Structure 1
Amino acid sequence: MAISDVMTEGRPVPEVLSAGRGLVDPALRTAVDTLPSEMRHVTGYHLGWWDENGRSLREAGGKAIRPAMVLLAAEAAGGRPADAVPAAVAVELVHNFSLLHDDVMDGDVTRRHRPTAWSVFGVGAAILAGDSLLTLALDVLARSGHPAAQQGIRTLAAAVQELVGGQSADLVFETRSDVGLAECLRMAEGKTGALLGCTTALGGAFAGGGPEQVDRLRRFGAQLGLAFQFVDDLLGIWGEPAVTGKPVYSDLQNRKKSMPVVAALTSDTPQGRELATLYYREQPLSGTELVRAAELIDATGARDWSQEQADELLARALRDLAAAGPRPRAGAELAALARLVTRRDR
């Protein structure tokens, strides 16, 4: 079945995200309210609900794309989005668990244009808040009473294990000078692809979708997750701070072995060898050297290659989505969200 056979016109993406937040936010806030007071305070700050002193903010944090994808996957599989709210809440909690820990491990001091939780409340508080969100996610599924809850817990737990494995590999890569491109791709599949694949699979499962349909939705999400990581890696080098909420060249400053970096380092080119000389020395890179490192990555062709990989993965993801036989509107809206998260100016 071709993509054009199942795609129709859906709601504008902002409307889709707003509707998703309208369904998920009340349940998410109810879940977070069950946390110990200190963990609730750190979590609410991280989510953008209030400032460090607990004063309410008008604007919430991220776009909540993952919860929206859970709801749309449920609708795509023939179910009601409302039935998948517990799965959407659980996914959002796990995603933010990973962000809280990721900021600590990377030493990032800004996220979404404001100081990160660890930089405000301390490393220990941020780690514990992340731990609380992970356990809360499983509890939300367990308490839902949904027929798919038990399998959903296993699916989510397996995705978290893959995510942790990918994050662990990412950390190890920072101390190695022999990282290959194939293992870098496996790291990204675990770090990013696993949770997004779980997201769409849970939506399908909570809608009562059959095994083949749920697997197609999982593959759609997993391929999209890897495409997202390619784009995120490009933004980590060349992204505008107004878009990323982080300083320009932040991944280079942190010596991240992102996919364009590893592609350049393993390119066996003069530019790749010059980049290795910069990247593997002990001293921090100056502003001029960061600019030069970015130029060298571009010169090896790694920047163009990364974008080509993202484009191909998006195309494969959309083919899997079409093969899942989604309801037309939900299929169109999932495709629109997929294109959003793989845009360089998202």
Structure 2
Amino acid sequence: MLAWSRSLLDPALRDAIDTMPGSMRDIAAFHFGWQDERGRPTGGSGGKAVRPALTLLTARAVGGTAAAALPAAVAVELAHNFSLVHDDVMDGDRTRRHRPTVWAAYGVNAAILAGDAMLAAALEALADGPVPAAGVRVVSRAVLDLVEGQSADVAFERRRDVSVEECLAMAGRKTGALLGGACALGALHGGGSPAQVARLTAFGERLGLAFQLVDDLLGIWGDPAITGKPVHSDLFNHKKSLPVVAALNSGTPASGELAALYLRDAPLSGDEPARAAALVETAGGRSWATALAADLLTEALAELDAATPVPSAAAELRSLAELMTRRDH
């Protein structure tokens, strides 16, 4: 499914990138893995591209065609990558997908501008679709929610008292909104009914929150050789990710020890990130996040079924949802 989606997406995505001014075009091509810092072709790919795959599949699920939803799929991928480029700047991450991040290769200012250019290109791509006004509204609202979620995520790093409920709301905006938007765009471009659009949006939102839980787990316990990110990367940044917040609020002896280590102003060093990871697990953060991701997947699939989708596309969406929540990178 992802290979099929990529075969449709990549030519259209490259066309969208080619319309950018030269300086931004080169940086975007680097970010997507198509060329190195000197402009030499590398033949890489820009990640899994699950969001555009959801857009193409939800269009088919309501009886439409993937071709009709292709401009929306391009827009979703560009909007998502705008957020990644900026996120790497804010987190100070120097690697992504086993390569330097944009800011590490070109500098912070260039990375911010390139992210802005990707977002503008996303909106431009929607102008070529069959429902441009509705598409722009969906993407704009998703990006506004994403920015609000990212703002809360950054603010949490300075707070000692983040609740699980606040963290879930943050993750729903930061990740769930764009996945919900990706599915809404697919349903809209496929000619789905308002009820189908609503159900598939809910499917994407719940799937997105489950996806974020898995991402948070990988941010602590993922294998750097597979994820392309440093070991314990989220812990170095004192991120209030969902497993961490659940552990801090567990009321266990391990949560008290974790708070003393994690909530201080000094950065973690030496063996402390590994100790923090062990305390998160002992306090129940890892098992809680794993169980909640499974529950959210069940809820997402119930919303998918309620949309009365075309059976073949529904089976593909179900498989993709399971892949997204049982991944190792």
**What TM-score results when the alignment is normalised by the length of structure 2?**
0.98
Alpha-carbon distance in structure 1 between the residues aligned to 2:323 and 2:129: 33
Q: CA offsets per residue over residues 52-104 of structure 1, 9 Å max, x none? A: 11111122120111111111000001001100000000000000000000000
- SS of structure 1 residue aligned to 2:123: helix
- Percent identity (aligned): 60
Query: How many angstroms does 1:155 deviate by?
Result: 0.9
1:212 to 191, 195, 206: 195
Give the equivalent residue in structure 1 for 2:255: 272
Alpha carbons of 1:145 and 1:291: their partners in 2 closer, same or farther (altered >3 Å)? Answer: closer
Give the equivalent residue in structure 2 for 1:79: 64
- SS of structure 2 residue aligned to 1:287: coil
Query: How many angstroms does 1:345 deviate by?
Result: 2.1
Alpha-carbon distance in structure 1 between the residues aligned to 2:317 and 2:41: 32
Give the equivalent residue in structure 2 for 1:88: 73
Alpha-carbon distance in structure 2 between the residues aligned to 1:235 and 1:179: 21
Query: How many angstroms does 1:243 deviate by?
Result: 2.1
How many residues were matched structurally? 329
Alpha-carbon distance in structure 2 between the residues aligned to 1:243 and 1:184: 26
Q: Give yes or no for the alignment of 1:184 onto 2:130.
A: no
- SS of structure 2 residue aligned to 1:73: helix
CA contact (8 A) 2:71 2:129 kept: no
Map 1:231-246; keep pairs closer than 5 Å. 231-246=214-229
**What TM-score results when the alignment is normalised by the length of structure 1?**
0.94
Greater relative contact order (CA < 8 Å, ≥ 6 in sequence)? 1
Alpha-carbon distance in structure 2 between the residues aligned to 1:287 and 1:149: 52
- SS of structure 2 residue aligned to 1:178: coil
Give the equivalent residue in structure 2 for 1:253: 236
State the one-letter code of the partner of 1:153.
Answer: V
Map 1:97-246; keep pairs closer than 5 Å. 97-142=82-127, 144-146=128-130, 148-246=131-229
Give the equivalent residue in structure 2 for 1:301: 284
CA contact (8 A) 1:235 1:344 kept: no
State the one-letter code of the partner of 2:199.
Answer: R
Query: How many angstroms does 1:292 deviate by?
Result: 1.0
Alpha-carbon distance in structure 1 between the residues aligned to 2:125 and 2:213: 31
Give the equivalent residue in structure 1 for 2:47: 62
- SS of structure 1 residue aligned to 2:271: helix
Runs of 4+ in 1 over 3 A off after TM superposition: none
Q: CA offsets per residue over residues 144-179 of structure 1, 9 Å max, x none? A: 151x22111001100100000000000000011111
In structure 1, runs of 5+ residues without a counterpart are: 1-15
Q: CA offsets per residue over residues 274-296 of structure 1, 9 Å max, x none? A: 11111122222123111111111
In structure 2, runs of 5+ residues without a counterpart are: none
CA contact (8 A) 1:51 1:57 kept: yes
Alpha-carbon distance in structure 2 between the residues aligned to 1:187 and 1:289: 26
When the two chains are superposed, the root-mean-square deviation of aligned CA atoms in Å is 0.9
